[in-house]
Amino acid sequence: MARVRLFTEKTDDMTPEQQATFDWVVESRGSMIRPYEVMLHAPGIAQPMAELGAQVRYRSSLSDHDRELVIVTAAVAHGCAFEWDSHEPLARKAGVRSEVLDFLESGASVELTDGEAALIDFVNELCEASGVEDSTFAAAREHLGESGVVELAATVGYYTMLAYIMGACEAC
């Protein structure tokens, strides 16, 4: 059970700012989703976060495969079941191999491609140490280019922030 009220539907006791943000999130996402059910307690944060999320998910230069692999890797790194449950099917649809998903979820043995290893290593190091080794950065840059590495780090940061908010509120 979450530590805070989850705003799953629009109610009369919401502030006007919460109601407006609720409407904006539903319009932009198609429905109210868990992270924003929590973040509506801080509507001034919820809407900019949703805007950043739209940039990361829908307007990033990362391929669907790479973006979804990064998201599920961050979900595992932070123990956020909501992120995993939401993005694992999207990762499969984007072409992330079942063996790689099994590796992330259970540690099953897998032979990763250079690109998969570069992304997974980058996410795991960044989540663990708030930075990455030079060799890890170089491998990610080789795979994505410089602007891609910046988008990679931003994607990890966004999903880390969602995991932290939901984790702190026991809504993950």
Taking the domains of the chain in order of start, what are their residue ranges?
Answer: 16-58, 64-168
Question: What is the C-alpha to C-alpha distance for residues 37 and 137, in angstroms, rounded to an integer?
Answer: 35
What would the pLDDT profile of 68-99 be if each residue is shown by its tens digit? Answer: 999 999 999 999 999 999 999 999 999 999 99
CA–CA separation, 124 vs 23, rounded Å? 35
Task: Record the tokens describing residue 11, joined without a space.
Answer: 């109610």
Rounded CA-CA distance 73/101 in Å is 9
Over the chain, what is the mean pLDDT? Answer: 95
Q: Where does the pLDDT of residue 149 fall: very low under 50, low under 70, confident under 90, or very high at 90 and above?
A: very high
Which of 92, 86, 165, 161 lies closest to 126, judged by CA?
Answer: 161
- Return d(Cα 45, Cα 66) in angstroms, integer: 27
CATH tag, 64-168? 1.20.1290.10
With CA atoms as reference, report the closest residue to 64 among 96, 86, 98, 110: 96
Give pLDDT tens digits for 27-82.
988 999 999 999 999 999 998 999 999 899 999 999 999 999 999 999 999 999 99
Q: Residue 94 gets which letter from DSSP?
A: T
